Amino acid sequence: MGLSRPPPQMGMARSCPPLPPSTTGGNRNVAAETGEKIKKNMGATAVGLLFFCTFVAYNAPVANTPGAPLTVKTQTDMRISRFITIVMVAWLASTLAATAAPIDARTARATAQIFATQRGKQIVTPTAPLKVKGSTSTHAPYYIYDVENGGGFVIIAGDDRVPSILGYTDSGSYDEATLPDALRDMLADYRHQIEALDSLPEAGQTSQSASAMRAQVAHPSRRFVAPLLPTAWNQKDPYNQLCPVYNNSDGSSSGAQSATGCVATALGQMMAYYRYPSATMADIPSYSFTSGGKSIRMDAVAKGTKIDWNNIRNTYSAANTEAEKTAVAQLMVIVGTGCQMAYGAASASNMQMGVQLLRDKMGYDETVRNVCRTNYTQTEWTDLLYREVAEGRPVGYRANSTLRGGHAFVIDGYDTADLFHVNWGWGGSSNGYFRISVLYQSEATSVSTANGKGFSLEQEAIIGVKPNDGIDSGIDGTPTLSARNISVKGSSISTTFTNFTGSAQTGSVGIGVIAANGSITKLASSVVLLQNNYEIERTFSVNNLVDGTYRIIPIWKQIGGSKWSACCDASHEYIEAVSAGGKVTLTRHPLNNAKLSVKEWSFVNNRVAGVEQHVKAVISNTGDDYIGDLYLFASTSASTKGKPASTGGVSLVGGKDNEVTMTFTPTPAGTYYIWLARDKNGTQVVGSTQVAITTTDTQAVNLSVGYVAYDNMVGNKVYGNYRRATIILNNKGTADYNGNVVVTLYRGQIGGRTLSPLVTKYISIKVKAGEQTRSVCRFDGLQTGYKYALRLFYEGAKSALDNNNPNAIYSREQHPGIIFYHADGTTSAQVPAAAIDGGSAMAIDMRGVTGINAIAPSTNPNALYLIDATATVPSTLTGKNVVSGTYADRITLTDGYPFMTPVAFTAGSVSYSRTLAAEAKSENNWQTLALPFAPTDISCEGERVSIDQSRLYLRRYAGQNQTLAPIFEPAAAITAAEPFVIKGAGTLKGKTLTFSAVNAQIDASQRLSAETDDYRFKGTTYRPSVAASFTLNTHSNAFDYHSEATQIAPFRAYFVPTAEPAEGESIVIEGTTSGIDATWAEGSTVAVYTLTGVKVGTARIEGQAVNLTGYPQGVYIVGGRKVVKAAR
C-alpha cells in the first residue's frame, strides 16, 4: 500500500560513494551484474532484498592505480547528462493471498505527473505509454513518461506489487535507440522480474505486499509500550550495605557506606528485569580507587559467584528480611566492581564499562553496545530507542547536566508524542514519561525544562541488552574508541580519540573512506596505546585522491585485528572530500545549518522578584536538526546581556516548531530583557523579548491554605489506593498571584513521627488579591497501612505557604477501600461495607477488603470484579467477569459496552464478538477494532476464519510515506493494545465474528495507539468523547475530520492529528474518499490538485464520494478541501 519511498534528489557525483579497491577490479558492468544477481534470486520462491542502486555512469571502468588510496574513476561521455537513480525491489514471498492489480496507463500517468510536480515539472502532453518490446504479459510491466523541455523521464511500475517509481532522470528524454547498454539491461530485468510474478503461486502474491510496503514507510508508526522494569531501586540502604566506607576530603573515614552509583543501579535494574545470570560468567578483577587522598582496594569477584535472585525484590522497605537486603546489596557490589566504580558519597563510573561487564562477565549478548546521541538525527535517535523498548529491551542511558553533572538511568517504555518512560533509579521518585531531547525530572509527563538541571548533554545509551541466545547477530563486539572534535584545516583532518572501553587499548587510529555498503578503506593511520578514560589527538593529511567525492570518518583497528571499524560518535559526523584536478576540498558535516527563530514567548509564573521564572519559547527551525546548547540571558539592561541565566542541551527537529522552557530568577524587580542564544557569549541570538517583574514585598502576595479535603475520606481515614485532594488557597495579599504552587506528598508509619517526601507535583494558580481559588491534585498508587500528608510551597521557595506541621490537618491514614472505575474515566472509593451496589461501573476493586456479603452486579455486562485470591466468589457474581488475585476463569466481552482493568491478569479464556458491516461496495465495510487481548482464534457460526486478506481483511497503521500520506499495511494477526481496521467480504459480510483466546494475558488498561509525527491512531475500550479527530464515516471507507466532539464506541479506534487540519479532510483507507459537498451531482467530474495548487487530473463523484482510484496515495485538494488518500 502507498507510494514507494521517493528516490533521492539528483545532483552531484557524491551521491555515489566510491568502491574500495578490495571490492573492484578491471572493467565491470555494475548494472548488469546487479540485475543478474536479482534474476538468480527470483525463481519460484521470489526470495530477494531491497536494493537502492545509484548509477553515476554505466559500464564504468575501475582502475587500480598503485600508490593511490582509492582509484575509482567514472566514464562521463554519456548521452544522459546526469545520473539516474534506480530503486530495485526484489520481494519476499508473502503468506497473504491476494490478486495482483495491474496499473493502467491513466494511473501510471497520474503517478508520473505527481512525481514531476513535486519537482516543479510537467509531464509531456500528450503522452502515450511505452510499448515494451518482447513482453509476454497482457499488461505493460512499466511505463515511461517524458518530462517537458528535456527535463528527463520517469519510469512507472505497471504492477502494484512493486513500488510505483522505478527510476527517473533529471535531464534529457527517453530514446530507446540511444540508451546506454546498462540501462537497457536494467529495463529488461524489470520486465523479466515483473512478469515472473505472474508465474508465482498465488500464496506468494499480494497487492502491495508487506515487504514492498515496509520499503515505502518513511515514517514508521510507534505504539504505546508500558514500563518494562518492575523495580524501583535507589543508591542507599539496603542497596549499598556492602559498598565500601568512603573517606572525607581530609582522608579521615566518613563512617558511612558509599552510594551504589547510578551506573550500577541502572545496570542492576536491567539485570533484575531478566533475572539473569544466576552467577557471574567470568572473573571480575580487583582494582583500586582514591577516596580522600587514600587508596581503597576492591576485591576481585570470582567466576561462578551466585546471584540470589530468589531473594531480590522489586521494591524495598524496612519490612524486608535481612536475606532480601543482602541479596540486592551483593548484586550491587558485583556490578559496581565490574564497572570499577569510584566509590564515595556520590559514586561514579562510565557506561562503556557497563557494556564490557554485561557482555564479557555476565553472559549478555554480543548485541550489547554503546551508541551516542551525536551519531543520529533526532528522528533516528527516537526510532532507535523506541525499537529497543518495543522489542522488550530496557535501555541504559547516560546524560550530563550543566548544573548537576552526569547521571545514568533506564529508559523502559514509550508513550505518545515522543515521551519515553524513565526509571531514574531514585526509588521510584519522579519515574514517568519525558521527552528524551530535554530530560528534566521535576515533574513526570510534563514538557521538560532546558535549564541546566535537565540531563540533556552528551547523551549515550546501552542498547541490545538481552541474555546471550547463541545466535550470531553479525555485530562486531570488539571494543571501539570514541572520536570527537573532528575538525578541518586545509587538507588536514584532526580528531580526538578517546578510550571509554573500560580497559587499555593498543591499536591504530586513523581516517578512512566509508562506502555505501559500510566497507572502510584506510587513508592514513597511527599506532596508539591508550589507557582507559584517556584521549589523544591526531592529525592526518588527505592527498592523492582520484577525482571524485568521498565520505571520510575516524576509524580504529585493535592490534592483531584485520578489520577497520568506525569510531563511536563518528557515524553522523563525517568529512566530505571533493577531489578535482589534484586539489582536495574538505568540508565537515553535518553543516549545522539549523535556522532557529523564536515564534512565541510566554511566562508561566507569577513574575515576582526572587522567584524562579519559567520562560517558554516556541522555536521555529527551518533548517537542519539542531543538537546543542541554548543559553537564556536575562538583564535589566537592554544593551548588556551579562552571563547566561540558564543553559540547556536540546534537540530541535528541523522543519518543525519546538517548545523549550528555560528558567531565570530575577532580582530585583523591574523590566527584564530576555535573549535566547546558541552561544554562551550571546552573539548568536535566536529571539528576544522583555518582561516586567514586580516587587519582592512579601505582603504583596500572601497565599494561605484555606483547607485540604480528600474525596474518599471518612473521619481521619482515606480509603482506597489514591488521593484526590481539593485544595482551597486564599490570597490575602495586595497583588494578584499567577504562577505555580508546589505540592509535596509525604509518607510515614501510622503512629510514627517521621514523614519523608515521596513525590512532588506542580499546580498552576491564578488568583486575584483578596480572593480564593480551588485546585485539584491527585496521587495514585498509594500503599494502605501508611499515613500520608501534603505540604504546599511557593515555587522556588523553601518555606511552606503556612507553617502548619505536616502531621497536622493535611495528614491522614490510608486504609483499604472499595474502588469503583466509571465509564467516564473517573474513580471513586467507599468505606468497606457488607453490601455493595455495582451501579454501572466498569470495574470494582474489592481486594484487601473483608466482610462483603452481597454485591448487586453492575449494569455493564463487561464489568470486572477484582477480589483477593483466597476470597470466596459471591453467588451474585456467578457467570460474571471475576478476577481472583491475578487469574480469571473466563472473561466475556460484549460489544457496545465499556471495559477496563486497573491490573494485569491472566484469563483462562476470553472472547469478544463483533458483527461485520454488509454494504454492497467492496471498498466499504471497513470497521475499526481495538482489543485488550490478542485473539488466537476467530470463528463465524462455528467455522474457523483465517485472516486471508481476501475474505477477511486486516490492516494496521504502518506509518507515513515520503508524501506524508498515512499507510495501512496487511496484518497477519491481531495484537493486544493496538488498533486495526478490519473488513469482511463475500460470505462474511454482515456476519458475527467471535475473537477468542485461552490463557490470555490482559494488561492493565493502557493506551491503544499507533502514531507518527502527524497522526495518532488511537483505540479505546471505553466510550470517550473526542474533539478534533478523524472518525470512520458512514460509508465505512474513510476517516473524516470533525472539529466538534464525537463519541467513540468501545473497542473502536480513531485518528487524532498533531496539527489542526482543514474541516472535511479525510484519510482514505483504500480507493475512495467521502465527505464531499452534496451539491455536486452524482457522476460529475471534479478537479484534483496537489497541495501546491497544480492540477493533476480529475475524478468522478460516485455515491457522494470522490473516487480517487488511479491516483497514488498522497494529499490532494478537491473542492477546496484536503483529501488524504492512504495506501492500500
Whose CA is closest to 978, among 226, 355, 259? 226
Question: What is the biggest distance separating any 2 CA atoms in the chain, rounded to whole angstroms?
Answer: 96
Looking at this protein, which amino acid is placed at residue 822?
H
Helix, strand, coil fractions of the chain, as percent rounded to 5:
10, 40, 50
Rg of the chain over Cα atoms, rounded to whole angstroms, equals 33
For the chain, count helices (H), then strands (E). Answer: 8, 74
Instruction: Report helix, strand or coil for 191.
Output: helix
Q: β-strand 1015-1020 against 1046-1047: which pairing, if any?
A: unpaired
Which DSSP category does 133 fall into? T
Strand stretches in 309-404, DSSP E: 369-372, 395-401
What is the strand order of the sheet 685-693 is part of? 646-652, 626-635, 670-677, 685-693
Cα separation, 456 vs 439, whole angstroms: 6
Cα separation, 350 vs 857, whole angstroms: 56
Cα separation, 24 vs 62, whole angstroms: 7
φ and ψ at residue 302, rounded to 5 degrees = -75, 150
**What are 819's strand-pairing partners?**
829, 845
Residue 940 designated active-site:
no
The Cβ of residue 321 has, within 10 Å, a number of other Cβ atoms equal to 10
Q: Cell 483466597: give the residue.
A: 870
Strand stretches in 951-1014, DSSP E: 952-960, 966-970, 979-984, 992-1002, 1008-1011
Looking at this protein, which amino acid is placed at residue 514?
I
Looking at this protein, which amino acid is placed at residue 796?
G
- Of 262, 567, 568, 940, the catalytic one is 262
φ and ψ at residue 487, rounded to 5 degrees = -140, 160
CA atoms within 13 A on the CB side of 129: 22
Helix axes 322-338, 262-274, angle to 10 degrees: 110
Cα separation, 343 vs 347, whole angstroms: 4
Cα separation, 569 vs 558, whole angstroms: 17
Cβ(350)–Cβ(533) below 8 Å:
yes
Whose CA is closest to 69, among 589, 521, 694? 521
Residue 407 designated active-site:
yes
Please state whether 378 falls in left (phi above 0), alpha (psi between -120 and 50) or beta. Answer: alpha
- Of 219, 407, 572, 1042, the catalytic one is 407
Give the angle subtended at the CA of 501 by the CAs of 500 and 505, to the nearest 5°.
105
**Cell numbers that stand for 731 in this block:** 490570597
Cβ(842)–Cβ(861) below 8 Å:
no
Q: Is the dihedral of CA 975, 976, 982, 987 positive or negative?
A: positive
3-state secondary structure 625-683: CEEEEEEEEEECCCCCCCCCCEEEEEEECCCEEEEEEEEECCCCCEEEEEEEECCCCCC
**Cell numbers that stand for 1067 in this block:** 484519510
Question: First vs last Cα of the chain: how many Å apart?
Answer: 4
Instruction: Report helix, strand or coil for 979.
Output: strand
Instruction: Report helix, strand or coil for 988.
Output: helix
Catalytic positions, written as ranges: 262, 407
